A and B are shown apart, each in its own frame.
Chain A
Amino acid sequence: MQKRSLVTIAYILFLLLPIYWLVAMSFKTTNEILSGFSLFPETFTLANYAVIFTDPTWYMGYVNSIIYVTLNTIISIAVALPAAYAFSRYRFLGDKQLFFWLLTNRMAPAAVFALPFFQLYSSVGLFDTHLAVALAHCLFNIPLAVWILEGFMGGIPKELDETAYVDGYSFPRFFVTIFIPSIKAGVGVAAFFCFMFSWVELLLGKTLTAVAAKPIAATMTKTASNAGYELGLLAAAGTLTIIPGAIVIYFVRNYIAKGFAMGRV
């Protein structure tokens, strides 16, 4: 037992080391960073964070990212729920083909789509809006959401639907008040994954925005090349991008293990 938990502890240390270094860097002055190696910040400073919270080009990056990620999660889950229900309950013409085609979109390299997406969203007048990024991320998030939700719905016996209809429930009322609550964990897991993949994606987010909806990640790359190489500032901005993810994981932590287990095992 002792030896086994050592593996886990070693792995977690390995995961935390680069994160620690990023956080430590963010509290150092640029001088201290460039002058040499120090394990802990010697002159502890919050100046890097002050820059981010007072400069709109920085903090609006966070706001933009959060807006389009939330928008994407809502759209993906809203359209994936009925579709997953159809796949798990009914047979219809071309269902298998459609399901497979949806999944193939998860396999398309984002690099392939960067330029065509730019042209497409420019031509429909959505370029540089939050909606453009939210819709573009649907490309890989909707298939994933349908896949996860379908797995969860498969675990709910069909008798539940039939009993509800016998009891006089209409379909919409059954779906919203009985069915969705019974796959709560699945919705949580699907939303978590939508949030995650939308939050971490940069290539499309950067291609589809210029100023008004620019994600924080793109602000970071721009600033890194403009203002020379301000490592402390970069580290502070990076540290702040970890926080929303950490909050979301904390809320779904119990669902993750259970969710996977119920979903596709």
Chain B
Amino acid sequence: MKTQNQKAWFFVLPVLLLVAFNALIPMMTVVNYSVQETFGNNLFFWQGLDWFQNLMRSERFHAALGRQFMFTGLILLIEIPLGVAIAMSMPRKGFWVSVCLVTMALPMLIPWNVVGAMWNIFTLPDIGLMGYFLNHVMGIPYDMTQNVFAAWVTIIVMDVWHWTSLVVLLSYAGLVSIPEAYYQAAKIDGASNFAVFRFIQLPKMKNVLTIAVLLRFIDSFNIYTEPFVLTGGGPGNSTTLLSIDLVKIALGQFDLGPAAAMSLIYFAITLLVSWLFFTLMTKDDAR
């Protein structure tokens, strides 16, 4: 199908140069820091793999990594099924489709720190809509700055609010691409709703769902701004996710070596898990 043509390299050259400038130079800086120790004044000393070894034994890192996996796991478990369910209940044609699409895309276009600030205002115990409702109408004591469980619920609900629409939009695109004839055939065969979902809709949505799972994994694993603005990692360290911890070490304590080592391991985990998801979800295609 595709023709062999080495001149195609000229087409990709601008992309290659721009991305390499942005990716390779900073990445080499990070690699450089990760094997050195600095005491300021731009004096660096060779440190070898010490930072990596320390990190592997660091309880602080293990805890942050654990919290990160719990956060991302919960996010995927909630957002993917919810997104598919909402996409299936959306209208297929007419005026309301546009209304749905526009309102659903809205949260994704709000700057991330505004999302954090918005949820902060929304959940203030006595003057926020959600905080007031829970505390004074439902009678449930709720204060996410004091209670670990409340803080977790809040960051999860915030992320569901923020990103479920991405899953909805992608699944919806998959659904509308199914020809009407498939449904008619299913009706003739007397297929149940579940069978239609399982054997027609789900397979047709598989490609877009792969993208949705990958994007949601990557973005929730790298999340920084929203929980930082909302909880600041607290109460205590209970919502200090990996990126928040990393920025604390790199820019707060200015421990460049340990932070760089952590960055590389962090990136490696993201790559590895993305690759696993991708391979698992597309392995049927290869057959």
- What residues of chain A have their CB less than 8 Å away from a CB belonging to chain B? 4-8, 11-12, 14-22, 25, 33-34, 36-37, 39, 75, 79-80, 82-83, 85-87, 89-93, 95, 98, 102, 104-117, 119-120, 135-136, 138-139, 142-143, 146, 158, 196, 199-203, 216-217, 220-221, 224, 231, 234-235, 237-238, 241-242, 244-246, 248-250, 253-254, 256-261, 263-265
- What residues of chain B have their CB less than 8 Å away from a CB belonging to chain A? 1-9, 11-12, 14-16, 18-19, 21-23, 25-27, 29-30, 85-86, 88-91, 97-98, 100-114, 117-119, 121-122, 126-130, 132, 136, 161, 164-165, 168-170, 172-174, 176-177, 204, 207-208, 211, 218, 221-222, 224-225, 229, 242-243, 246-247, 250-251, 256, 259, 263, 266-267, 270-271, 274
Q: Is the CB of B161 within 8 A of A86?
A: no
For residue A238, which residues in chain B have a CB less than 8 angstroms away from its CB?
110, 114, 117-118
- How far, in angstroms, from A200 to B136 measured CA to CA in the complex? 34
Task: State how many angstroms separate the Cβ of A95 from the closest Cβ of chain B.
Answer: 8
Do A200 and B111 form a contact, CB below 8 Å, given A19-B106, A139-B23, A261-B173?
yes
Q: Is the CB of A82 within 8 A of B117?
A: no
- How far, in angstroms, from A250 to B170 measured CA to CA in the complex? 18
Task: State how many angstroms separate the Cβ of B188 from the closest Cβ of chain A.
Answer: 21
Q: Is the CB of A264 within 8 A of B6?
A: no
User: Of B8, B113, B132, which one neighbours A37 at CB under 8 angstroms?
Assistant: B132
6 new A-B contacts, CB < 8 A, other than A21-B128, A36-B126, A200-B110, are A18-B118, A39-B129, A79-B15, A109-B267, A135-B21, A242-B114
Among B91, B169, B259, B263, find the residue whose CB has the most chain A CB atoms closer than 10 A.
B263
- How far, in angstroms, from A253 to B109 measured CA to CA in the complex? 13
For residue A11, which residues in chain B have a CB less than 8 angstroms away from its CB?
86, 104, 164, 168
In the complex, residue of chain B having the shortest beta-carbon distance to the beta carbon of A113: B26
Q: Is the CB of B12 within 8 A of A82?
A: yes
Q: Which 4 A-B pairs have the closest CB atoms?
A: A245-B109, A260-B173, A116-B26, A86-B11
Task: State how many angstroms separate the Cβ of B126 from the closest Cβ of chain A.
Answer: 7
Helix, strand, loop or mixed for chain B's interface? helix
Number of CB contacts from chain A to chain B under 8 A: 273
Q: Is the CB of B5 within 8 A of A108?
A: no
For residue A158, which residues in chain B have a CB less than 8 angstroms away from its CB?
1
User: Of A91, A136, A224, which one neighbours B22 at CB under 8 angstroms?
Assistant: A136
Helix, strand, loop or mixed for chain A's interface? helix
Task: State how many angstroms separate the Cβ of B83 from the closest Cβ of chain A.
Answer: 10
Q: Is the CB of B11 within 8 A of A16?
A: no
Q: Is the CB of A19 within 8 A of B118?
A: yes
Among A18, A75, A102, find the residue whose CB has the most chain B CB atoms closer than 10 A.
A18
In the complex, residue of chain B having the shortest beta-carbon distance to the beta carbon of A116: B26
Do A231 and B121 form a contact, CB below 8 Å, given A107-B218, A220-B113, A257-B169?
yes
- How far, in angstroms, from A112 to B22 measured CA to CA in the complex? 12
Q: What are 9 inter-chain pairs, A to B, with CB distance below 8 A?
A: A4-B88, A18-B129, A19-B118, A37-B136, A92-B5, A110-B243, A111-B247, A253-B102, A264-B208
- How far, in angstroms, from A11 to B243 measured CA to CA in the complex? 29
User: Of B97, B169, B204, which one neighbours A260 at CB under 8 angstroms?
Assistant: B169
User: Of A37, A105, A107, A139, which one neighbours B126 at CB under 8 angstroms?
Assistant: A37
User: Of A89, A106, A200, A235, which one neighbours B2 at CB under 8 angstroms?
Assistant: A89
Q: Is the CB of A90 within 8 A of B3?
A: yes
- How far, in angstroms, from A65 to B100 measured CA to CA in the complex? 27
Q: Is the CB of B173 within 8 A of A109?
A: no
Do A79 and B18 form a contact, CB below 8 Å, given A106-B218, A115-B250, A245-B106?
yes
Q: Is the CB of A142 within 8 A of B174?
A: no
Task: State how many angstroms separate the Cβ of B24 from the closest Cβ of chain A.
Answer: 10
Q: Is the CB of B117 within 8 A of A224?
A: yes
Q: Is the CB of A261 within 8 A of B174?
A: yes
Q: Is the CB of B12 within 8 A of A86?
A: yes
Do A112 and B12 form a contact, CB below 8 Å, given A89-B3, A200-B108?
no
Among A11, A158, A203, find the residue whose CB has the most chain B CB atoms closer than 10 A.
A11
